[in-house]
Copies of this chain bind each other. A is one copy, B any other.
Amino acid sequence: MGIVVELDGKRDKKPSFDDLTAIVADDMKRVNQQILTRMESPVALIPQLAGHVISAGGKRLRPMLTLASAKLCGYHGERHVTLATCIEFIHTATLLHDDVVDESKLRRGMDTANSVWGNQASVLVGDFLFSRSFELMVEDGSVKVMGILSSASARLAEGEVMQLLTANDTETSETAYLDVIKAKTAQLFAAACRLGAVVADRPKIEEEALDGFGMNLGVAFQLIDDVLDYSAKQATLGKTVGDDFREGKITLPVILSYRRGDKEERAFWQRTLGELEQSDGDLEHAIQLMAKHGALDDSVERARHYGSIARDSLGIFPDGEIKDAMISLIDFCIERPY
């Protein structure tokens, strides 16, 4: 096979999600089918509640990463479909528990499962989806795959606990924040990608390259997600501006503003996020402070840094439309409207 090395990495197209969506469309149809089949249970509330979250959509980014990575590695079997389903179940279980933990009422503009069926059902159906994801791994039968996914799950849970502990702590460092988002978000991205190389039985260097791609894409993705929570244009994305602010989550835009601010500004952050004493106009003031210190722009810059690493991780793979689409996905994740 001839390998064309692309040295400058320039592309003319606008970054988009569509190329990758098209490339994995057939596989994704089977994943969606399997999601429906495998969330079945004699206990009717389980598919009902799980279906509510899963059908609420979202981009199916994580399973898509498994499908794309497998394709990039030239895989032609069926295991990636089950593993992509598995990844989506782990992610959905996390969403259910997150919404309970955050007491969220809305997700992607729809009522959260906990606001419809209560916290209790959400916790337990989350547990079911976790367990079902492990059943799916067992069906795949590879101990290596199970090792990757079980340790990603444990890291994910650790990340969620870390996030809980840094909540309302305005003195959280950028390093601590990065540790949280690596664990709670990027680990599952990394595992999703790594599995593509594993099912295709590719050498270690490709496994690690895809892990690195997923990990750095995940960090960039979460950084931008945290920026979007303060940026006005995001209303178009079906997200609510200011959720993180209201919950006192300490994300990078806050960390940068706090550390670059004066005594009075730090008192503001401490009151609003540390003590959660918020009144009208506080969110707007927070956004002004972020603008003053370039905190949002610089957070995006940080995301670009991780995006670059993600792109370089793919360097060892031959050029072609799959690799292009995966690179376009990095750019899309970073250049979402903010």
Task: Give the interface of A toward B (CB within 8 A).
Answer: 41-43, 45-46, 93-94, 97, 100-101, 119-121, 123-128, 130-132, 134-135, 137-138, 141, 143, 146-147, 150-151, 153-154, 156-158, 160-162, 164-165
Contact = CB atoms under 8 A, between A and B. Distances in A.
B101 A158 contact: no
Interchain residue pairs A-B with the least CB separation, the first 3: A128-B157, A131-B153, A131-B154
21 contacts: A41-B161, A42-B158, A93-B127, A97-B127, A100-B119, A101-B123, A101-B124, A123-B123, A124-B157, A124-B160, A125-B157, A126-B127, A127-B130, A127-B160, A128-B154, A128-B157, A130-B153, A131-B154, A131-B156, A134-B154, A137-B150
A58 B158 CA distance: 26
Quick one: which of A43, A45, A93, A146 has the most chain B CB within 10 A?
A43
Given A150-B138, A151-B135, A165-B43, A130 B130 contact: yes
B41 A125 contact: no
Contact of A124 (B97, B119, B131, B150): B97
A132 B165 CA distance: 20
Contacts of A97: 123-124, 127
A42 to B, nearest CB: 7
A124 B164 contact: yes
A161 B131 contact: no
Contacts of A127: 93-94, 97, 126, 130, 153, 156-157, 160
A123 B137 CA distance: 23
Given A134-B146, A138-B146, A146-B134, A161 B100 contact: no
